[in-house]
Amino acid sequence: MTPVIALVGRPNVGKSTLFNQMTRSRDALVADFPGLTRDRKYGDGDHEGRRFIVIDTGGLTGDEAGLDAEMARQSVQAIEEASIVLFLVDGRSGLMAGDELIADQLRRSGKQAHLVVNKTDGQDADVATADFYKLGFDSVFQIAASHNRGIRSMLDLLLPEVDEENQDRASLYPGIRIGVVGRPNVGKSTLVNRLLGEERVVVYDMPGTTRDSIYIPYERQGEEYTLIDTAGVRRRKNVSETVEKFSIIKTLQAIEDAHVVILVIDAREGLVDQDLHLIGFVLHAGRSLVIAVNKWDGMDPEDKDKVKEQVRRRLDFLDYADKHYISALHGSGVGLLYDSIRECYASSMAKWQTNRLTEILQDAVAQHQPPMIHGRRIKLRYAHQGGSNPPIIVVHGNQTDALPGDYKRYMENTFRKVLKVTGTPIRFEFRSGENPFANRVSRMTPRQKVKQDTDLKKGRRIKKTRMKSKKGR
């Protein structure tokens, strides 16, 4: 499972700053679901190939009451869901009474937590940390989140190496891994059962594939799939349209572990901001995406047109993702999802030859050249593939750091069209090589070298003479 890191501590100790450093972004999936406060933010990170989910919780004081108590309860729930808890304290303020109360709560929870002393920049880190040892934590880290110091070494120790389970995931859970995600009560459970039940050939009775598990391997029409469930698989007789049990952590883990993500949207409520937050997380994780607009049955034609227009307008940046209008309850349109799933998987796992990618690059540059930067045109020389799920294309050239965003989008659209990539984002890495002429050994003869030096001196004398004549005027 993808590790989950919860950040807890008093207000203003630097949790949000650390969150932004760990996710390398100021963006976050903000929980705005029934029963959840907006003080919990979710993001995903990548540390040397090791992916993780991080939760930024609301500030705790240790003795909350009223609304603060509800916020504290949500923070405690985040702690329970986490596999790693980081307890942040302020190295400049020193040990506070609230820190001791929070430390006591963490001990009573039985959760293994690590003490992180933040804001150690500009002072002796050991002196700033000394008072906090009395809290009794086995592991203590010293960081300066605002300067991104100490975070990488901390993650090196906290995050496991890519373990055998991750390496062998393809054999443990064969075929295409499908994550079904969405807000509560949009029909995820009904869709999960439809996907499993329609023309089902075999459902494996394996340990760990019960209702409480997230992985359900199965076969359909001779093809292998693994459904990553976020709603809880239920027997058909127990399926109902009641509010489903929802876990953001399960949703984010399903996105990370999937090849293809089906985002379920309630057609009768329309597209809401939280749907866009989930889409953003899917794209940030680089996963293929299929949009399923559910509860399409029984709607008036006028209402259907409004929903389609809303989806077209607000999801115009997802023109490459298939959109299906379905009724999971009655099964209409559900079977067509498998066509999109297979196309998405094929695109996300595709392999392309270097000469093919370089040919597309050269044709794109010939059609529309990169701009001039400081009097020199950006050069893009060749391309090769750097990875899959999502596809990564590495483009080599010079001055690539100055390549504008609109030209990068032009490149993505060109490669997507030529390679017929469907449903999955394409990531580009632009790399600049060293100047090939920087260390070239001069091949001039001594006589040529003397002539060059003479010409340079002569040019400088002429320039000085002209400058003096201008001053005389």
CATH number of the CATH domain containing 98: 3.40.50.300
Q: How far apart are the first and last CA of the chain?
A: 80
For residue 303, being part of any structural domain is answered with yes
Number of domains in the chain: 3
321-344 pLDDT tens trace: 999 999 998 899 999 999 999 999
Return the residue matching tokens 């749907």: 275
Same domain membership, residue 368 and residue 336: no
What tokens appear for 441 in the block? 């050994």
Go through the chain and tell me how many residues it has.
473
For residue 457, being part of any structural domain is answered with no
Spatial distance between the Cα atoms of 118 and 141, rounded to a whole number of angstroms? 8
Percent of the chain with pLDDT over 70: 75
For residue 455, being part of any structural domain is answered with no
Spatial distance between the Cα atoms of 136 and 302, rounded to a whole number of angstroms? 64
Same domain membership, residue 341 and residue 240: yes
Same domain membership, residue 184 and residue 131: no
∠29-34-35 over CA atoms, to 5°? 95
369-389 pLDDT tens trace: 998 888 888 999 999 999 999
Same domain membership, residue 143 and residue 12: yes
Q: Edge-to-edge strand order for the sheet containing 427-432?
A: 379-387, 392-398, 427-432
Spatial distance between the Cα atoms of 85 and 91, rounded to a whole number of angstroms? 18
> Which residues are CB-neighbours of 439 under 8 A, at least 6 positions away?
none
Of 292, 325, 348, at which residue does a domain stop?
348
Same domain membership, residue 413 and residue 343: no
This prediction's pTM? 0.73
pLDDT category, 239, cuts 50, 70, 90? very low
For residue 390, being part of any structural domain is answered with yes
Which element (helix H / strand E) includes 80? helix 67-81
**Domain, as residue range, for 116:** 4-158
Specify the range with the lowest mean pLDDT, choosing from 120-134, 197-211, 303-317.
197-211
Phi, psi of 276 (to 5 degrees): -65, -35
Residue 33 has pLDDT above 50, yes or no: no
For residue 437, being part of any structural domain is answered with no
- pLDDT for residue 426: 94
For residue 405, being part of any structural domain is answered with yes
Beta strands in 183-311 (DSSP E): 200-203, 215-220, 223-228, 260-266, 288-294
Same domain membership, residue 269 and residue 147: no
Of 298, 316, 348, at which residue does a domain stop?
348
Choose among 178, 347, 346: nearest CA to 264. Answer: 178
Q: What is the domain-level CATH number for residue 359? A: 3.30.300.20
Q: Is 328 exposed, middle or buried (0-12, 13-18, 19+ CB in 10 A)?
A: buried
- pLDDT for residue 144: 94
Alpha helix ranges (H) inside 288-387 = 301-314, 337-348, 354-367
Residue 439 has pLDDT above 90, yes or no: no
Same domain membership, residue 153 and residue 31: yes
In order, the DSSP letters of 385-410 are EEETTTTEEEEEEESGGG--HHHHHH
User: Other CB atoms closer than 10 Å to residue 45's CB: what's the count?
Assistant: 19
- pLDDT for residue 3: 86
Q: Which residue has the higher pLDDT, 205 or 190?
A: 190
Average pLDDT, integer, range 265-269: 93
